[in-house]
Every structure is written in structure tokens, then in C-alpha cells.
Structure 1
Amino acid sequence: MRLPTRNAIARRMHDIRLIRENPEAFDAGLARRGLEPLSAQIVAADVSLRALQTEIQGSLARRNEASKLIGQAMASGDKDKAEALKAEVADLKTALPAKEDAEREQLAALQDMLAAIPNIPLDDVPAGEDEEGNVEIARWGTPRSFDFTPQEHADFAPALGLDFETAAKMSGARFAFLKGQMARLERALGQFMLDKQTNEAGYTECATPLMVRDEAAYGTTQLPKFREDLFQTTDGRWLISTSEMSLTNAVREEILPEAELPIRMTALTPCFRSEAGSAGRDTRGYIRQHQFWKVELVSIVRPEDSDAELERKTRAAEAILEALELPYRKMLLCSGDMGFSARKTYDLEVWLPGQNAYREISSCSTCGDFQARRMNARFRREGGKGNEFVHTLNGSGLAVGRTLVALLENYQQADGSVDIPKALLPYMGGITKLTPAI
């Protein structure tokens, strides 16, 4: 599949037509993101670019016309006119390269400007600057009452096979080496999640590449803004920070029949993140790692179906936590705490008794046509004319490592062992409890 031209890319990050027609609404959306007005700057750049393109097209048309007239003048014996036309064609050819260079520069500037602007929040997203503005929607489950002081997983899980020291010797900080029963538990969690999402929630299991090219990372908005959070190979590919990158790009440069929608895909993959912006956060334990497993949920839908699909997707993630009997709360993120590509996001936060706090374990977002424009992913309605951009959604169903942490802390016992929840027993090969090494 080919990458769209620079002109197409520049106009697919945000809908330029809508910005031209209603700049106040665009700036109001940016204000909810905590950004200054940009519509005037965008429109001015677009007007300048379109004027230059019109000028170039006029020059090319005149060059072609004058070239034809030269032959006619020569045929009629009007050498003076022919020479004048030749001079005009030569002048046009001389001037065009500079104009085309200016066009490329203006295109690049407009592209860079639009690529740095996040998606516009939906109207029902609460206003706020950071996580303090998030709104709790619901809670499920009651945190367990312990007859001893519960520990954080980093303090007791090493005796169960969660080995940070061995990993540090070969890879450095924020890696883990799981052994024996602990490795089996992580594998069981991933398989349980994948089975539940495919058998009950209707997602199609996929096995995706773990490395993608620039245009794929660009399509799902990891590039250019979040370049520092990614790992890059020596040949220029990017290790996926989430399989959203590969799943969503499955429809890039496609025109889908309406009958194929919705498309729901899931994958259990390793994810790789440099955590460049999280210095000093969660340095202990297994919560924030450079490499971790995650079950991703991606949906490709018609525009009118995206709101309902977000609720459905979030429910699919909640069902995992409820099956594992892990208390959690559902949060609606405010405009200042949402991800770059999201129009609306629900976070699920699981209870961690060792920290005496709820911590994020899943984010489910609707992106509208924001990613679809960057990927040029469209669909054609049955009996309709023209094509429309699809809407894309993504979510975690769930982050396996954080779910492992939640299980360890919620099911820990006074003797350092950890009970296995009933839902996982069929996946554990007869293991019903993790027990410390003697």
C-alpha cells in the first residue's frame, strides 16, 4: 500500500474545510485541550498554499498552451510570434522550480502544523487540565479487608518468580524475568483475556507484526509527536508501543464496503515503550516496564456507530476485571488528560491494596476520523455515492502486566502465597496457588 502524497497528508490530519467554515468551533475545541487559537494561522497557511498551487497550475497550463502555439506560428510562417512564445515558455520553465520548491516548503510547514494538533474532544467530555478533572462514572466490587497489612507486589513477588535482578543484569532497569509459576500465571492471563474477547465479545484474533514503518506509526499518531517514546531499529522500523499500531493500520489506504463494518480485531502482543516522559514514576515493580504484554481491542466502524462502540468496547474490558473479581472504577477523562488522538476516553482503574489506590489498567478511546484521515481509510455506503472516512476506536482488554500486579496484591495471603482466581484455574495446569520459594 502506498503512502498518500504530502498534499493529501497535509489535509487529512484535520478537516481543513471545517476549519475554514467554522474556525471559532475549532479554536473552542483547542481551548478545551488547553491550547491557544490556531485557526487563523492554519487558514492563512492554507490560503497561501492554495494560491501558490493555483499559480503553478496556471503556469503549467500556459506553458502547454504556448508550446502548442509555437507549432502553429511556425506553420503559418510567423517567426516573430514563434520566437516570442519560445521566450515565454523558457521564462515559465525557469520560474517553475522556485515555485515548486516554495510549494513543497509550504506543504511541509502546513503538515508539521497540523500533525502537532491533537484531536478535538467530544461535547460530553468534561473540561479539565489534568487527572484532577477526571470524573468517576462507576465502581465495581468491594476492596478486600485484610487481617494483615497488604504489601506491594515488588516486596513479595520476587519470592514467587518475579525476578527484577536477573533482568537488570542483561537489559537494565524496567525489565523483568518471570520464572516458573509466575511465568505460567502471566501466560494464563493473556490467554484468558484473548479467549474471552474472541469467544464472548466478538473480536477476531490477529497475529500482527511487532515492527512497523514510519507511515504506520504516523497513521495512529505515534509519529511525529511521540517519537521519543518509541524504540527504533537500525533499519528505521519502529517497535510497536501497542498493537493498536498494527491492527488499526490493517485498513490504511482501503475503501471498505459498508457491509464489512464493524470490524473488531484483537491481538496479544509484546509492547515496547521507552517511557521517555515518565522519569521517576513507578520505578519499583512491574507497573511501568519497557517491555510488556497487552491484549489490544481495535474497532473500525461507521461514524454513526462510534459512540455505541466505545461503550461496548469499554464493557468488554470491564468484563475481564469482573471475571477475575478485581475491584475497579470507571473514569471519564477530562479534556486535558486524554490521549493525543482521542475524542473521548474511559479509563478503568483497578484497586491495588498494596498502594491503597486505584491505578489505570485500561484506556478505551474513540478517535473519530482522526486516525482514518491520516491513514486514508474509508468506506462506501451501499447504494451511496462517494466515500467517507471510517471511525477508529482502541482499548486495552487488558494490560497483562498490570493485571498480574492486581492479582498478586488482591489475592496475596499472610504467608506470602497468592491464590489463583477461579476464572484462571483452567489455564494454570493444576496450580491453584503461587507459593514462595523456600
Structure 2
Amino acid sequence: MLDIKWIRDNADALDAALAKRGAAPQAASLIALDERRRAILQELQDKQSRRNSASKEIGAAMAAKNSELAESLKAEVADLKTTLPALEEESRTLEAELNDILARIPNIPHDDVPVGKDETGNVIARVVGEKPRWSHPAKEHFEIGEALGYMDFDRAAKLSGSRFTVLTSQIARLERALGQFMIDLHTGEHGYTEVSSPLMVRAETLYGTGNLPKFEEDLFKTTDGRYLIPTAEVTLTNLVAGEILEQEKLPLRFTALTPSFRSEAGSAGRDTRGMLRQHQFWKCELVSITDAESSIAEHERMTACAEEVLKRLGLHFRTMTLCTGDMGFGSRKTYDLEVWLPGQNTYREISSCSVCGDFQARRMDARYRGKGEKATKFVHTLNGSGTAVGRCLIAVLENYLNEDGSVSIPDVLLPYMGGLTRIEKAA
């Protein structure tokens, strides 16, 4: 969430940032609403002050046996008691209206983010590895998985409907191996603390990371008012909600391997075949909590941690700097890792690493205090996939396909595969 005080002082900067994102200007209407709120609040405070002083004056008038003045003051206090509730309600209404609008305004992009309308404006930051060269034809992951006998979409549809998958035997083990490899790498070598956190959260928690109120349609809601997490970013980031941290203990780095749940609202007709766009999928999430000075460097570090997963798996990928029109709502700058899928003959996003500045921290009221300082500042938050397990599974199946239809296991996963070196067709 943006600070209304900052908006008042930087109206042109806000509108220029929104224009880069392809959004309409908001500064003038926000400032006008805030002026109304401030005027009502001032009137409320003035009347409350007058009520308090008039109440004291009644006692003095009665002590002086000035009954006429005392009665006049009593009438004034009675009138104030009648008008104050209406002002209080109006003040609350305007405060709620302002906060609701602020909660729906996207973050301000960093100055070095390329300006663009959509994904066509994204810029390649680097390319790692090379596309595989085969004599045999490439296949899509669902063709490979179904032919092997370990990937079943029909049974999944029978159980749950579309956008679900049943994996069995060797491919199910490969999916598990990928998740274990990722979490072991990030905790063992990259300094992240593993967290096992809830899969259901309250609305306030989703508000803190910016998923609510703007993106409610993308969420699954339970019958008791909780929501299934769309990503572990929600829980990991909110671990510091409402807290004041000591600067010398920053950065905090958290990781979790969890299922994620997304309604995929608005994606009708997109990626309907296979596992690319599912309602339920595993993801290894990375979250960092830093001070204001360290967040940009931490963003580069986090992205490198996610890239290392793909490097060790021997997968060809490119890292993209997202343009202003393709960035997420809460991000100030985002790198997308796009892995090469031979079966689709294209790159597909497998990780997204974002620095959010203090955008989420203001919503969560998460702060830090420097050593020897009394004042506090909002922390900076970062999040990234390290990586999406399902999409990584797709990439391994398509990139390690052999001519006979079997799939070789990347060397780095062999310790997790119980002696299997390749996935072969079920007998």
C-alpha cells in the first residue's frame, strides 16, 4: 500500500508511475478525498475539544451561581453529543473509502524497470545453457506422461474436475524428488530457513501481501471464511506482520515447500491440456525480509538462488526483466525465469522473483529499528519461486526425453530417486 502522505507530496510521480503501468491517474481524486477526510477529522476534533471545555465551564458557571450560563452550556453540550456521532461515522466512512482505494493501487516501479504495455515489452537479462539437440522429435509433457502410464488427467477430472492431475509411480516420485532437491538446496546452501506454515489463512493475512481485496476472484475460500493460500509467500511474508525487528538481525530468509491453490479466474481456454495451469500445484517459495538499503541487492541474490535450481538440473532458460505493464501488483521490479520446453517449442515462466519495497510492510505494519535508534522504518519484502515444482517436472520430462520414450533422471536428482536412473513405461 502506498502512503497517502507520500502521494500528497508526489502527486505527479504517482500519476507518472501509474501511466507506466497503463493505469489512469489517481492523485487528484485521492488528495481530494483525503482533504475531505482531514477536514471532517479536524471538525470532529474541534467539536470534541469544545465539548470537553464546555463541560468544565458548566461546573464553573454553577459554582458562580450563573444558572443562565450553565443552562446555555448544557444545551451546547447536548447539541454536541448529538452531532458528534454523525461526524465520527463520516470520518470512519471516509477513512475506509480512502484505505480501500489505496489498497487497490499498484506499487511504484523502480526507475530501471523497462516501460512496456505487456509481455512484449519484457527485456532479456541473460540466457543460460542451450536448447537440446536431438535426432528424435520433441513431445509435450502430457504426451510423455500418458505414454509412460504415470500421468492421468481423466481420473483427476473424475475426482475433482478440470485442471487437476493424478501422478503415479515413477513420475510421482520424480515430482517429490524435485521438491526435496529444491528445499535442500535453499536451506543447505542458500541460507534460507525452512518453514512449515498453514495452508489456510484469514483475510487479514492475504490483505497484508496484497492478494485482497483486488484479487479475491483468484482465491479459493473455505466455508468458515478462511482462504487456501495461492502461494506460501502469503504465510512466510506475514510471519513478521505487526512486529518491530532489530535491523542487525536482517535479512530474514524463509523458504517453504507447499501446495498452492489458485482458481485461475480469467484463464478459460488457456493451457487446458496438461499440467501448466493447475488449480493445485507444489511450489518451493522464497521470501526475504530486509532493511531499505539492502533490498535491491537481495533481489539479485534471490534470483540467483532460483536460477541455481535450473542450472543444476541442466535446463536451458532465460531470465527476463519484466516491463511495467507485465509486473505484478505489489512488485517494484520483477525477474521472470523462463525455462525452455521443447514440446511447446517455446519458453514458459517457471519462477518469478520480485522486490516489493515497503508496499507489503505498510499493509502488514512490519517495521525495523536501527541499533540505538528510537524511530522505526518499514521493512522491505521480497518473494520468489525457487521454483514451481510442477512446471519444473514438465521441463525435466520434455528436456530429458529419450528416443525410446523413456526419460533420463538429471544427475542432481539421483540421490532422491531410490536407484532409478530413468523413467520407463509401466509394464
Tell me which interval the TM-score lies in, with the shorter structure as reference length.
over 0.9
| Counterparts of 2:116 and 2:268, CA distance in 1 | 24
Most deviating of 364-373 and 52-61: 52-61
Most deviating of 22-31 and 132-141: 22-31
1:35: how far off? 1.3
- Determine the structure 1 residue equivalent to 2:337: 348
Q: How is 1:405-420 mapped onto 2 (pairs within 5 angstroms)? A: 405-420=394-409
Amino acid in structure 1 at the alignment position of 2:119? E
| Counterparts of 2:313 and 2:238, CA distance in 1 | 31
**SS at 1:26 equivalent:** helix
| Counterparts of 1:408 and 1:320, CA distance in 2 | 16
Task: Give the superposed CA RMSD.
Answer: 0.8
- Determine the structure 1 residue equivalent to 2:196: 207
Q: Deviations over 1:86-129 (max 9, x none)?
A: 10001001111211121122112211211111001000000000
Q: Deviations over 1:14-56 (max 9, x none)?
A: 1212211121111111111111221111111111101111111
- Determine the structure 2 residue equivalent to 1:51: 39
| Counterparts of 2:229 and 2:198, CA distance in 1 | 8
- Determine the structure 2 residue equivalent to 1:5: none
**SS at 1:358 equivalent:** strand
Aligned with residue 260 of structure 2, among 271, 281, 284: 271
- Runs ≥4 in structure 1, deviation > 6 angstroms? none
**Do residues 105 (structure 1) and 93 (structure 2) align?**
yes
Q: Deviations over 1:204-245 (max 9, x none)?
A: 000011011011000001001110000000010010000000
Give the percent of matched residue pairs that are identical in Structure 1 and Structure 2.
61
**SS at 1:303 equivalent:** coil
1:434: how far off? 0.6
Aligned with residue 212 of structure 2, among 202, 223, 228: 223
Q: Deviations over 1:343-388 (max 9, x none)?
A: 0000000000000001000000000000000000000011123100
| Counterparts of 1:373 and 1:22, CA distance in 2 | 18
Amino acid in structure 1 at the alignment position of 2:266? G
| Counterparts of 2:289 and 2:165, CA distance in 1 | 34
Aligned with residue 251 of structure 1, among 240, 250, 266: 240
| Counterparts of 1:35 and 1:419, CA distance in 2 | 47
**SS at 2:336 equivalent:** strand
Amino acid in structure 2 at the alignment position of 1:398? T
Amino acid in structure 2 at the alignment position of 1:104? R
1:266: how far off? 0.2
Amino acid in structure 2 at the alignment position of 1:85? L
| Counterparts of 1:111 and 1:373, CA distance in 2 | 12
Q: How is 1:178-189 mapped onto 2 (pairs within 5 angstroms)? A: 178-189=167-178
**Do residues 138 (structure 1) and 126 (structure 2) align?**
yes
**SS at 1:304 equivalent:** coil
**SS at 2:293 equivalent:** helix
**SS at 1:341 equivalent:** coil
Most deviating of 158-167 and 145-154: 158-167
**SS at 1:123 equivalent:** coil
Aligned with residue 225 of structure 2, among 236, 248, 271: 236
Aligned with residue 431 of structure 1, among 420, 423, 427: 420
| Counterparts of 1:367 and 1:212, CA distance in 2 | 21
- Determine the structure 2 residue equivalent to 1:37: 25
| Counterparts of 2:37 and 2:29, CA distance in 1 | 12
1:82: how far off? 0.9
**Do residues 66 (structure 1) and 54 (structure 2) align?**
yes
Aligned with residue 83 of structure 1, among 71, 77, 99: 71
| Counterparts of 1:203 and 1:323, CA distance in 2 | 18
**Do residues 384 (structure 1) and 373 (structure 2) align?**
yes
Structure 2: 5+ residue runs without aligned partners? none
**SS at 2:294 equivalent:** helix
Most deviating of 27-36 and 283-292: 27-36
Aligned with residue 307 of structure 1, among 264, 275, 296: 296
**SS at 1:392 equivalent:** strand
| Counterparts of 2:203 and 2:53, CA distance in 1 | 41
Aligned with residue 155 of structure 2, among 137, 157, 166: 166
| Counterparts of 2:53 and 2:202, CA distance in 1 | 42
| Number of positions where the alignment pairs a residue of Structure 1 with one of Structure 2 | 426
- Determine the structure 1 residue equivalent to 2:111: 123
| Counterparts of 1:303 and 1:17, CA distance in 2 | 18
**SS at 2:289 equivalent:** strand
| Counterparts of 2:2 and 2:344, CA distance in 1 | 41
TM-score (norm 2): 0.99
TM-score (norm 1): 0.96
Amino acid in structure 2 at the alignment position of 1:119? N
Amino acid in structure 1 at the alignment position of 2:97? A
**SS at 2:325 equivalent:** coil
| Counterparts of 1:419 and 1:228, CA distance in 2 | 40
**Do residues 194 (structure 1) and 188 (structure 2) align?**
no
Amino acid in structure 2 at the alignment position of 1:15? D
**Do residues 148 (structure 1) and 131 (structure 2) align?**
no
Aligned with residue 316 of structure 1, among 274, 298, 305: 305
| Counterparts of 2:280 and 2:57, CA distance in 1 | 67
Amino acid in structure 2 at the alignment position of 1:400? V
1:155: how far off? 1.2
| Counterparts of 2:245 and 2:42, CA distance in 1 | 33
Amino acid in structure 2 at the alignment position of 1:82? A
1:159: how far off? 3.4
| Counterparts of 1:265 and 1:379, CA distance in 2 | 17
- Determine the structure 1 residue equivalent to 2:384: 395
Amino acid in structure 1 at the alignment position of 2:279? H
| Counterparts of 1:70 and 1:125, CA distance in 2 | 64
- Determine the structure 1 residue equivalent to 2:14: 26
| Counterparts of 2:53 and 2:424, CA distance in 1 | 85
